[in-house]
Structure 1
Amino acid sequence: MSFKLNPPFRAEHLGSLLRPEELLKARMAFEKKELSPEELKMVEDKAIEDIVKLQKEVGFKGISDGEYRRHMFFDGFFEHLEGFTYIAEAPREIFKMYVPDVGVFLLKETKPPSTTLCTGKIKHVKSGYLPQFEALKALVEPSEVKNIKLTLAAPEWYHLRHGENAYDKSIYANNEEHFNDIAAAYRTELEILYEAGCRNIQFDDPLLAYFCAQPMLDGMKAEGEDPEALFDSYIRLYNNCLRDRATKLPDMTVGLHLCRGNFRNSVHFSEGGYDAIATKLFNEINVDVYYLEYDTERAGTFEPLKRLPRNKTVVLGLITSKFPQLEDLEEMKKKVYSAAEIMASGNAQSKEEALQRVCVSPQCGFASHMEGNLVTRDDMKKKMQLVVELAKSIWPDA
């Protein structure tokens, strides 16, 4: 499938943005049952209207709602499916400690962890994303609706965390059966969003990047799990979710965002370059664009981009969203040109041709979780402006 640069745009952001203080207070009050859903929505509506204005002010063409209606970046899908159950206090032994963020959390927390497990037959009964999209749609011009970016949870989110404990064995005999029903639910969700006018989605998936982390691979092998076979099964899951793209979602742009964790207080969870997964990641998953973390050495070099095929685009996450210090514009430009040269060398292209398959962004969102990173709103705005400035310095019509 050929990728059309419409969207992403030359200057991108990754969906989540810092919440204003009044929204944080409102959500905390709501979680304590001190605020009604209607009252919370009023605060959300105002905050989203303001953040849309900010995105337009700094020059972004692709617009998100900042994930302001979510507590966590992965909210919005699994909790609306029949067959999934929220577990407020889950036994620690059902978690896979080799998963980088799981290990960090469970070692720090003394109280029982919460999670969501598949306890019955999976069925799509309600779209959690549609109300978010419709509300954002009302804030932009009709011509801009196609540019709205909606971020989605990774389909394997709970499976990697729980492995064989992720689903009830009396319902699903094996992973493939379980994944088939998850994929069917995603296909329904995507069709609903497409019918509403959504043309730009981004799967947020730090888990695939974890397969670059040697400690996780070692931990999986120690427990008898084959990392490569599991990675292959996740590729099949993605492609099953996107099975009907050509016929039912013909002009929907599908992106895949990989990072190494972006928790409150600017924490990351894993390290390791894309080298080990690049060939399969870039050539076997049926998406158009990859949003890749490249703000620090923990993501490795640009060499894996040699394996990015000509019909796909990369958004280089060169500017960190974790800390306020501004990157040097000229240094960022050099990195973009370096990436393009490497891409060209792997595809028998000129650097100029490869450069047409490159965009720029922060390395991740500014608030993957409600609390956000160690930056202020002003810091965030300056970072966003730098992304736009970087794009315009390379592609003047960005």
Structure 2
Amino acid sequence: MVNTTATKLHYDIVGSFLRPQQLKQARKQFEAGHITHSELTVVEDDAIKDLVRKEKEAGLKIVTDGEFRRSYWHLDTFWGFKGIKHTIPEHGYFFHDEETRADSARITGQIAFQADHPDVKAYQFLQDLIADDGDVTARQSIPSPAQFYAELVRGEENEAAAKKYYPDETKLITDIGQAYHDLIIALYDLGCRDIKLDDCTWGMIVDEGFWKAMTNGAFDRLELQKLYLKLNNAALVDLPDDLRISTHICRGNYHSTWAASGGYAPVAEQLFARENVAAFYLEFDDDRSGDFAPLVAVPDGKQVVLGLVTSKKPELESQADLIKRIKEAAQYVPLENLSLSTQCGFASTEEGNKLDENQQWAKIKLVIETAKKVWN
């Protein structure tokens, strides 16, 4: 039976947390060659132990490692696959008022899972921390297969490399799906029963200008949706029945800014109706995400986690306003199938959003207290 912790609680998190200062400092020291990787790992281990303790104290029953071993929410996972190299292009991602660091992933050979993938090592440590606590579930978040593909064709050089090694796109889709499937099974074998696919492709495909830039000028919204759906679902076949797979949809989260705008209506019939996941974690913290009407496309029995509390700003939302919006969403999805969370993580990259740790935990407290008031 699939783990139902998130469903029963009706409150949740997206997963990344602000990096503590000592961890940021250690990463800088490692990059400068002043400490070894083993010394960095010790700092990461200590920071994760402290984070998990704080998550439990806050009342969270689903915990993460805060993505403390990653620089990015997505690229570190991509770099861990065979046939992929870390590249530094001329530009990073262009957000609303900032350009990110310039890093990317490029194909150098056949894509495949590797047993020493960093996400496997990271999850093993997290699982060991909570192994004796039957009241807590350890979640692993990974970027979606569609996000992987989008990165591999981002920019002319990446696209040229993809065509060089994969002239047949069907083979590329197959290998991405298999690499992800193998990663998921490796995590499952370590005890993971809750995996979330973080995915900006759907949250950005609704923004026509953004995707014209991402796809080098070629843009067919429906064809892209079909491609991304095929990529994601290819990884989600023949999985164990007791493994919960969910997805988080976002429009960009970097240093409290965003990359795209647009409601879910243009993608609802593909994403909500056809992606083989049990739950959708959806960004709804401001007008950029549109209204709740597209949720009517969510199949009966699937869960929707409403990201109503922003992780981008320190100010606390009004609990009354949150409750009102939850009731509005319940017009389209039954209340028992809804939950509440922050709209995204607090640090999708190691830079983190523009709030402090106390404000971060205040946001989580608001989520939990509001959920208990609505559903208990």
Q: Does 1:250 align with 2:244?
A: no
Is 1:68 aligned to residue 59 of structure 2? no
- Give the deviation of 1:301 after TM superposition: 0.2
What amino acid does structure 2 have at the position aligned with 1:306?
Answer: V
Is 1:140 paired with 2:120?
A: no
**What SS does structure 1 have at the residue aligned with 2:288?**
helix
2:25 is aligned with 1:49: no
The change in CA–CA distance for 1:387 and 1:105 in structure 2 (over 3 A counts) is: closer
Contact 1:333-1:394 within 8 A present in 2 as well: yes
1:238 equivalent to 2:237? Answer: no
CA distance, structure 1, for counterparts of residue 322 and residue 87 of structure 2 = 44
Residue in structure 2 matched with residue 364 of structure 1 by the alignment: 344
Correspondence for 1:122 = 111
Which of 254, 270, 275 matches 2:260? 270
Distance 2:219 2:263 in 1: 21
Instruction: Report the CA distance shift for 1:125/1:108 in structure 2 as closer, same or farther (over 3 A).
Output: closer
RMSD: 2.3
Structure 1 CA distance for aligned equivalents of residues 202 and 57 of structure 2:
34
**Maintained 8 Å contact 1:117/1:158:** no
Q: Which moved more, 1:161-170 or 1:196-205?
A: 161-170
Asked if the contact 1:3/1:312 (under 8 Å) is kept, the reply is no
Matched-pair contact (CA < 8 Å) for 2:268–2:295? yes
Gaps of 5+ in 1: 93-100, 344-353
How far residue 70 of structure 1 moved from its aligned partner, in angstroms, is 0.7
Runs of 4+ more than 6 Å apart: none
User: For each residue in 1:64-102, what CA deviation from the matched residue of structure 2 results, as whole angstroms up to 9, or x when unmatched?
Assistant: 0111111111144321222112223x366xxxxxxxx73
C-alpha distance after superposition, 1:163-191 (max 9, x if no partner): 57444434212322111101101111111
Deviations 1:99-146 (A, max 9, x none): xx734499958x9x4321112111222332111111111221435487
Once residues 129 and 34 of structure 1 are traced to their aligned partners in structure 2, the CA distance between those partners, rounded to angstroms, is 25
For residues 127-276 of structure 1, the aligned pairs below 5 Å read: 127-144=117-134, 147-161=137-151, 162=153, 165-166=158-159, 167-217=161-211, 223-245=217-239, 249-264=240-255, 266-276=256-266
SS at match of 1:209: helix
**For 1:279, which of 269, 272, 276 is the aligned residue?**
269
Distance 1:106 1:297 in 2: 18
Assess if the C-alpha contact under 8 Å between 1:220 and 1:227 holds in 2: no
Q: Are 1:340 and 2:292 an aligned pair?
A: no
**C-alpha distance 220-41 of structure 1, shift in aligned 2 (>3 A):** closer
How many residues get paired? 370
Helix, strand or coil at the partner of 1:342: coil
Structure 2 CA distance for aligned equivalents of residues 168 and 239 of structure 1: 21
- Tell me the equivalent position of 1:308: 298
Residue 394 of structure 1 deviates from its aligned partner by 1.1
Q: Deviations over 1:283-340 (max 9, x none)?
A: 1110010000011011000101111111210000000111111011111011111101
Shifted more, 39-48 versus 208-217: the winner is 208-217
> For the residues of structure 2 that align with 1:82 and 1:105, how far apart are their CA atoms?
33
Q: Which amino acid aligns with 2:323?
A: K
Q: Does residue 1:5 correspond to 2:7, yes or no?
A: no
* Residues 3 and 34 (structure 1), Cα distance of their counterparts in 2 relative to 1, 3 Å cut: same
Structure-2 separation of matches of 1:285 and 1:68:
29
3-state SS of the aligned residue for 2:281? Answer: strand
Mark the CA change 1:212 to 1:374 in structure 2 (over 3 Å): closer, same or farther.
same
CA distance in 2, matches of 1:145, 1:186: 28
Distance (whole Å) between structure 1 residues aligned to residue 98 and residue 58 of structure 2: 40
* C-alpha contact (below 8 Å) 2:5/2:61 kept by paired residues: no
What secondary structure does 1:57 align onto? helix
Q: Could you tell me whether the CA contact under 8 Å between 1:146 and 1:198 is conserved in 2?
A: no
- State the Cα deviation string for residues 328-384 of structure 1 (Å, max 9, x = none): 1111011111101222xxxxxxxxxx1110010000000001011110110011101
DSSP-derived class of the 1:224 partner: coil
SS in 2 for 1:228: helix
Q: Aligned partner of 1:210: which letter?
A: M
CA contact under 8 A between 2:107 and 2:165: conserved in structure 1? no
**1:267 to 1:61, Cα distance in 2 relative to 1, 3 A:** same
Q: Give the conservation status (yes or no) of the 8 Å contact 2:330–2:338.
A: yes
State the AA in 2 paired with 1:115.
Answer: S
Distance 2:214 2:121 in 1: 38
Letter in 2 for 1:54: K
Seen in structure 2, the aligned counterparts of structure 1 residues 394 and 267 have a Cα distance that, compared at 3 Å, is: same
The amino acid that maps onto 1:356 is: E
